[in-house]
Amino acid sequence: MTPAWVKDAVFYQIFPDRFRIGQGPAAQPAPVPADLEPWEAPPTLRGFKGGNLWGVIEKLDYLKDLGFNALYLCPIFSSTANHRYHTTDYFQVDPILGGNEALRQLVQEAHRRGMRVILDGVFNHCGRGHFAFQHVMENEAASPYKDWFYIYKFPLNAYSKHPNYAAWWNNPELPKFNTNNPQCREYLLSVAEHWLDYGIDGWRLDVPNEIDDDEFWREFRRRVKAKNPEAYIVGEIWDDARRWLQGDQFDAVMNYPLGRAVLGFVGGEALDRDLAAKSGLGRLESLGALACHHRLEELFNRYSWEVVTAQMNLMTSHDTPRLYSLLRGEVERVRLALATLFTLPGAPTVYYGEEIGMAGGHDPDNRRGMIWDDSRWQTSIQATIRQMAALRRHLPALRHGRYQYLYAQDGRLAFARVYERESVVVTINASPETWRVHIPLHGLWPRGEQVADLISGQAGRCVGGDLEDGLLPPFSLAVWQALG
């Protein structure tokens, strides 16, 4: 079984160095390093802007007001990189982020507000500064840690373009762990357990497919679930993930294929395909409503329903261009794309800054400092997220209901979410013309039933088994509910 709370989750992804510089508690103010990259300056690959976990704590109420009830934090452990995928100490929260005490307080404050916290687990590789790798660099064949890595020969040449060890994508900064080594394996599994004792609610696993050892992940699951049966284990798998979603490894994956389908449908001719093609999203194509439906239905049939309702559904992340830029600044399409995400099975996930319309191209431009000047916010996007999160919270069908196809033509898609005796109908107009809704309900509601769109408040009718009389403006969405 997947964790029950994830079906009700609305995730907000935070890149800690770029979210907010917090002050820390009055008794122990957070030390802010000198020589930081200016917050508003274009981000660079190596620059640190100084965001910390105290800043996240300061904005928990802002996030809760928008409807978010779960946080996914990019790596927070000691590292020599601003993104912290170059881990040097897995048992220490980076001092720049506030150290272990900041995480302890973040988890406490989040839980006090009914919010969950999951951390990014980078178990495939570490940074060159990790103690075990440093030991091998200093002692070479005499090091008891040499078998923690895939060493080809000595010297390691760790600061050359051609290192003598296996590294993630041949990047010498990221030596790859040998998880077949019992001591290395135990070390990594103990990391997973340690932070669960701190109260975190799960792990997002970085490039888990590169640890080509299903038994490692089975043991990981056993150890994590023994600590907390409700801990969420979600893997970064960009495509078909059936291998890892049989109930013995991960609970879910980051559902990029669903995001690509939504982007293709809502983005249409506005979609910046060149920008997408040079990122992890790959080549995105415009999708008509029927093609989008087929993509979605295939995804929902690919996995068990337990997994489908626990998927981390997202369109963008720290590894992709931003939504506002992918849709060429067309705010109506941005709002519609996000609204659509909230109506589909799985947990909607929003990358920091998308709720205010931040722009951003390829890494590192997609990791700009969060804008806290509200005069520069696209508040209509915030309003959409707030409204859709509230609808999801109050309608069990949007969280648990099965997807039932109703209608698809050109840029117009309709489907139902059916849960026990409750059902809602979602109509999406991804075209530039107004849509006078007339769609078959296939017996979903009785003839003559009065219905209303819970977003706009407009009324509709069930006539002869069809939903009629609703008007959808261009690039808008309605969620219909029977009033009887």
Confidence at residue 303, expressed as pLDDT on a 0 to 100 scale: 98
Q: Which of 99-103, 164-168, 301-305, 480-484 has the lowest mean pLDDT?
A: 480-484
Confidence at residue 27, expressed as pLDDT on a 0 to 100 scale: 64
- Say yes or no to pLDDT of 147 above 70: yes
Residues 453 and 320 in one domain: no
Contacts of residue 364, defined as CB under 8 A and 6 or more positions apart, other chains included, come to 43, 44, 45
- DSSP-derived 3-state class of residue 279: coil
Residues 340 and 200 in one domain: yes
**What pLDDT, in 10s, does the model give residues 159-182?**
999 999 999 999 999 999 999 999
* Domain span including residue 29: 4-124+177-394
Q: Do the Cβ atoms of 280 and 319 come closer than 8 Å? A: yes
373 an active-site residue? no
Cα angle value 38/80/43 (rounded, 5°): 30
- Say yes or no to pLDDT of 45 above 90: yes
Question: 378, 394, 410: which is the final residue of a domain?
Answer: 394
Kindly name the residue from 94, 173, 201, 206 that is annotated as catalytic.
Answer: 206
Q: Which letter does DSSP use for residue 151 in this model?
A: B
Residues 92 and 120 in one domain: yes
- Say yes or no to pLDDT of 467 above 70: yes
Q: Do the Cβ atoms of 287 and 270 come closer than 8 Å? A: no
Determine, yes or no, domain membership for 155.
no
**Integer CA distances (angstroms), 469 to 30, 46, 259, 378, 444, in order:** 58, 56, 30, 31, 17
Q: Is the pTM of this model over 0.95?
A: yes
Cα angle value 455/456/457 (rounded, 5°): 100
Strands (E), 191-327: 202-205, 232-235, 252-255, 312-313
Residues 414 and 353 in one domain: no
Confidence at residue 316, expressed as pLDDT on a 0 to 100 scale: 98
Total length of the chain: 484
Which of 329, 370, 332, 327 lies closest to 351, judged by CA? Answer: 370
What CATH number is associated with residue 413? 2.60.40.1180
Which of 387, 386, 421, 236 lies closest to 311, judged by CA? Answer: 236
Determine, yes or no, domain membership for 85.
yes
Domain count across the chain:
2
Which of 233, 218, 219 lies closest to 312, judged by CA? Answer: 233
Determine, yes or no, domain membership for 154.
no
Kindly name the residue from 120, 236, 354, 453 that is annotated as catalytic.
Answer: 236
**What pLDDT, in 10s, does the model give residues 338-363?**
999 999 999 999 999 999 999 999 99
236 an active-site residue? yes
